Structure 1
Amino acid sequence: MDTESNTKPMAPPRRRKRLRIVCLAVIALLLVLVLVMVILGLTVFKGKRPVTTVNSVALNDLQVSLDILRLRVNLNVTLDVNLSVKNPNKVGFKYTNSTAVLKYGGQVVGEAPIPASKISAGQTNTMNLTLTLLADRLLSNGNVYSDVISGTLPLSTFTRISGKIKILRIIKIHVVSYTSCDLSINVLNRSVANQTCQYKTEL
């Protein structure tokens, strides 16, 4: 039996050397691409915090009637809130459904939905929200009567917008933006006074 005829010929040294060079070149190219993507992700495409701003809070409607015998107040308040979210990133920012709330004495007394949306790179989304105070939620609060009699009704608004920034289709950064505003309703002048807002964003 001829053993030489059953032995497979080994690849020539030059061919093996070429294959090795090609493999090393592919690996080097992949490493360079990964390095470039990391550098871009840390510099040009670095995740930045979206900026949420309350541009204005206006009194849309105010209806007040006093029940002196029962020391109760029948109260209806509607606020128009103009809110903007700016995306300073080089990529789009998507946020999920959320809710803006109206508070009195730390208690939620009104809500307005914030529908999910996407903000393109460098763009700003503006939203007009209507927050209506639900009078039935104030029935158990004994401070309403004294506040209305004093002529000033303290309220606060709160919004939380949660979304993601996707960098180079690989890196996902979760972002949560909070906005809270304290304000006073001047019952006699039917206007908004002493508005102060605080902003916070977490990456």
Structure 2
Amino acid sequence: MKSDDKNEMLASEAPKPPNAAMETQSTNGGTKGKKRNRNRKICICVTLLVILLIFIILLVLGLTLFKPKRPITTIDSVAVDRLKASVDVLNLKVILNLTLNVDLSLKNPNRVGFSFGSSSALLNYGGKLIGEAPLPASRIGAEKTLPMNLTLTLMADRLVTDTRIFSDFMSGSIPVNTFVKVSGKVSVLKIFKIKVQSSSSCDIVISVANRNVTSQHCKYSTKL
């Protein structure tokens, strides 16, 4: 037998490279990779769905059980603490010293706390600011009422040039207005913060002879 024929026989008997096995392994690896990607996508979708469901539940609670309500500022009473006057008949002037004690209350009807910033109680005469008292920032617990006592002192120099005060004083009655506005936030589930505002305006009449309040008419306003 020739050498060439022997080489051909050996070549035909030699094992073929495992192409089929490699292709099978490659196919299995690709299938596993696809399964991992699919599982990852399913996990992400489930996570997003759970987050969305929690958000919807919190939103529903915030709009129903914890729905923000308007706080109510009420002026309970206004009393004259001091009233002194010096009358200049020739010049039609009155130098007036007036101090009012104002008892007010701020009610929080919400199931969560209400925080408000610093403000002021105002004393007005004829649309002009004549007195002011600071109202410090505070926080009111859920469904609680915060009582406050303020002292409003008239700034006498604001009325020196106002001739109307002389006429009112001589008539025996001095009409003034007290105004209080409180602005703050209601935090629902510590996620949603909603701005709220409450104000009260009282027109009162002070008797010069008796040095007391003879009438009081108040208007209240709240808004979200």
Structure 2 length-normalised TM = 0.84
Q: Are residues 1:108 and 2:126 paired?
A: no
Aligned to 1:88: 109
Q: Are residues 1:161 and 2:207 paired?
A: no
Q: Distance in 2 between matches of 1:72 and 1:15?
A: 92
Q: Distance in 1 between matches of 2:124 and 2:207?
A: 16
Q: Distance in 2 between matches of 1:18 and 1:104?
A: 74
Question: Following TM superposition, by how much is the alpha carbon of 1:172 offset from its aligned partner in structure 2, in angstroms?
Answer: 1.3
Aligned to 2:145: 124
Aligned to 2:56: 35
Q: How far does the alpha carbon of each residue in 1:116-147 deviate from its partner, in whole angstroms, 9 at most, with x for none?
A: 11111111111100001111100111111110
Aligned to 1:137: 158
Letter in 2 for 1:126: P
Gaps of 5+ in 1: none
Q: Distance in 2 between matches of 1:194 and 1:158?
A: 16
Gaps of 5+ in 2: 1-17
| Bigger Rg over Cα | 2
Aligned to 1:68: 89
Q: Distance in 1 between matches of 2:161 and 2:89?
A: 16
Larger fraction in helix: 2
Aligned to 1:174: 195
Secondary structure (helix, strand or coil) at the match of 1:174 reads strand
- Identify the range of structure 1 (105-114 vs 56-65) with the bigger mean alpha-carbon deviation: 56-65
Q: Are residues 1:9 and 2:29 paired?
A: yes
Q: Distance in 2 between matches of 1:94 and 1:194?
A: 32
Q: Distance in 1 between matches of 2:44 and 2:167?
A: 81
Q: Distance in 2 between matches of 1:155 and 1:27?
A: 60
Paired residues for 1:175-190 under 5 Å: 175-190=196-211
Aligned to 1:23: 44
Q: Are residues 1:58 and 2:79 paired?
A: yes
Letter in 1 for 2:109: P
Question: Following TM superposition, by how much is the alpha carbon of 1:14 offset from its aligned partner in structure 2, in angstroms?
Answer: 5.7
Percentage identity across paired residues of the two chains? 46
Q: How many residues align?
A: 202
Secondary structure (helix, strand or coil) at the match of 1:9 reads helix
Q: Are residues 1:46 and 2:47 paired?
A: no
Regions of 4+ moved over 6 Å: none
Structure 1 length-normalised TM = 0.92
Larger fraction in strand: 1
